[in-house]
Structure 1
Amino acid sequence: MAKVLVLGNAGLDISLQMPRLPERGETLLGDGAMRAPGGKGLNQAVVAARAGADTRFAGPIGKDGMGEEIIRILGAEQNLVFEPQRLEGSSDFSLLMVLPDGENSIVTAGACAAAFSQEAASRFAANTEAGDLFLAQGNLTQETTLAGFKAARDRGAYTVFNPAPIWWDATPLLAHCDILVVNRGEAEAISGLDDPRAAAARLHKRGAKTTIITLGGDGCLVHSSGTTRHHEAIAVKVRDTTGCGDTFCGALCATLSLGHSLEKAIAYAQSAASITATRPGAFRALPSSAELSALCKTEA
């Protein structure tokens, strides 16, 4: 059975319920403090493992208490091997200030993700074998992510790229990308086109063998081999779309690693993401192993 190797970031999400945002120089008391592991790489690796894939995850964390907390939490996930790179200083984290109407403002510290080296990415990617899936996002630097893709491709692995969040030019990586997963806004940012069908075709021409554009409640578009197909969304009562993209990517790679077709993998990934959409938050909203197993029976 093929493996899923995820290269990405890991951190903690710390949230506070706030009556309003503080003014400049003001201190406000927050309530209902919660903390949970976070980071797109971490979330996608957890979903892939919960979906039954043999999953390895490499991510940078600091030599601090937060790093130890992340290791402890991921150690409880079956099918997941976490290979942290311990760096000096604090682990990455995000502070979420949640307002009474549900809107939030987020401040993120990402020094660990920025410091993850090209050499470390290449070493991790060298663990891939022909047929494995190598998944990365946009949190690490362009150079580090590209180094991982090149090393994985050299060993015959399939590369899957989810370039969110977009803070550097993703175009040079498209030629090293078997599957590109982007949402509507990301597709426009990379392609320069606001029409999803036209954007998918342009991204394919720039190198991505298969482009998947997720469209929220409108489902997703898949462009491959010169044709574009539309997949309907799963109808649910949406509460929070945070983490839906991570669930989609993790579930997609897991299904492909288990030998299923792209069509089945997309259907399964959409169903998994629909579960996340019905819950608030990110990590806490990810589907459980039991839920993902039940989806396998439904999609069979």
Structure 2
Amino acid sequence: MSKNIVCIGELLIDFICSDIDTSLVHGQNFIKKAGGAPANVSAAISKLGGSALFAGKVGNDSFGVFLEKTLQESCVDTSMLILDEKVNTTLAFVSLNSNGERDFVFNRGADELLEYDELDEDKIRSAKIIHFGSATALLGGKLKDTYLKVMEFSKKENIFISFDPNYRTDLWKNRLNEFIDISRKCIKYADFIKVSDEEIKIISKEDDLREGVKVFHELGAKIVAVTLGKDGTLISNGKEMKIIESIKIKSIDSTGAGDAFVGAALYKISNLENPKNLVYDFDKLKEIISFSNKVGAVVCTKLGAISSLPTLEEVERY
């Protein structure tokens, strides 16, 4: 088995309102789901047969225990998941109004309190890949400082670094410039960065995707993957650029597809003898992204995020 892929960031509960066309004011029924992009990525890696460790913090409450069990059931190593005795687990509540607008309430708790000294430096040092998925990690608090310290440490240790900015409009209202600035700081560390077409336009300030990719390389990113939904993924190693097509599927629910894509890519990259050499092998990169597109597509054929993640056998059947 490959060495651990460490995924660091937030783990939280998403309460999704199951009532149709309503606000949180009027919503009555909610479905509890495990949330947090890096946690989804770790589960995707493990489901495919890889070795993933999640590092983060939840409250030592019913929700925190549920999240811990959810990861363990996906065979994710939770030895760096801390259950805080003093602070509750982070909660997010979401409903969809009839006009398509989301009603969103975010109660931030334990996830933002993860401190660098609480992490096992030896486990980080021994990792083959460190993945940073930042939906809430960069908002502030101790987790933001920890994030940047782990990035700096990983760079010094010559560990392959993966970064997904995970922009969420609801979280960054009136703070867009702050999101751009901190994302650019993180990009300089990245051996592999995955962004959506919306995110690359926001961070690069370029409407043309290919120009945006060039900006990312100038900032320091080695490999850039821009996910384009059903249109595939635009990839670049700084010398070559190409759109890798996805497979045609009937999409039911795209929740978690981006995280599954990242998990699949990191699973494949972790099996390389030296992941950092991938930047020089564009044919191998195309092969890895084609596989990752397939995993992301398979997830769209099922409901849920972690529950819809495929095994390697399921992917190969496609």
Please give the range of the TM-score, normalised by the shorter of the 2 chains: 0.7 to 0.9
Q: Does the CA contact (< 8 Å) of 1:58 and 1:124 recur in 2?
A: no
> Any idea what SS the aligned residue of 1:279 has?
coil
Q: Distance in 1 between matches of 2:34 and 2:76?
A: 18
C-alpha distance in structure 1 between counterparts of 2:60 and 2:166, whole Å: 26
| SS across alignment from 2:188 | helix
Asked if structure 1 preserves the Cα contact closer than 8 Å seen for 2:59 and 2:89, the reply is yes
CA RMSD of superposed structures (Å): 2.5
Equivalences for 1:25-174 in 2 at 5 Å? 28=26, 30-31=28-29, 33-78=30-75, 80-87=77-84, 88-98=86-96, 104-120=102-118, 123-124=119-120, 126-129=122-125, 132-138=128-134, 139-141=136-138, 142-165=144-167, 167=172, 168=179, 169-174=182-187
TM-score normalised according to structure 1 size: 0.87
CA distance in structure 1 between the partners assigned to 2:183 and 2:122 by the alignment = 22
2-side partners of 1:108 and 1:117: how far apart?
21
Q: Would the aligned equivalents of 2:223 and 2:235 in 1 still touch at CA under 8 Å?
A: yes
Residues 108-159 of structure 1: CA deviation (Å, up to 9, x unaligned): 2233232222444xx3454234770110111213432221111122222100
Percent of matched pairs sharing the same residue:
20
Deviation readout 1:11-42 (Å, 9 max, x if unpaired): 1222232254348xxx63523x3212111111
Indicate the larger mover: 186-195 or 126-135: 126-135
Q: TM-score, normalised by structure 2?
A: 0.82
Q: Secondary structure at the match of 1:176?
A: coil
Stretches of structure 2 that go unaligned for 5 or more consecutive residues are 139-143, 173-178, 274-283
2:196–2:228 CA contact under 8 A, matched in 1: yes
- Assess, with a 3 A threshold, how the Cα gap between structure 1 residues 95 and 82 changes in structure 2: closer, same or farther: farther
Aligned partners of 2:126, 2:73: CA distance in 1, in Å? Answer: 28
Q: Which is worse superposed, 226-235 or 196-205?
A: 226-235
Distance 2:228 2:211 in 1: 14
Letter in 2 for 1:127: K
Change (3 A) 1:281 1:222: same
Contact 1:240/1:280, CA 8 A, preserved across alignment: yes
Other-structure match for 1:13: 14
Letter in 1 for 2:5: V
Count the aligned residue pairs. 289
1:269 equivalent to 2:292? Answer yes
Shift of 1:69: 1.3
| Corresponding residue SS for 1:59 | strand
**1:195 Cα deviation after fit:** 1.0
- Which stretches of structure 1, 4 residues or more, deviate above 4 A after TM superposition? 98-104
Instruction: Structure 1: give runs of 5+ residues left out of the alignment.
Output: none
* Change in 2 beyond 3 A, CA 1:174/1:159: same
1:200-279 map, 5 Å: 200-259=213-272, 261-279=284-302
8 Å Cα contact 1:268/1:296 also seen in 2: no
- The aligned residue for residue 196 of structure 2 is 183
The alignment partner of 1:127 has SS state of: helix
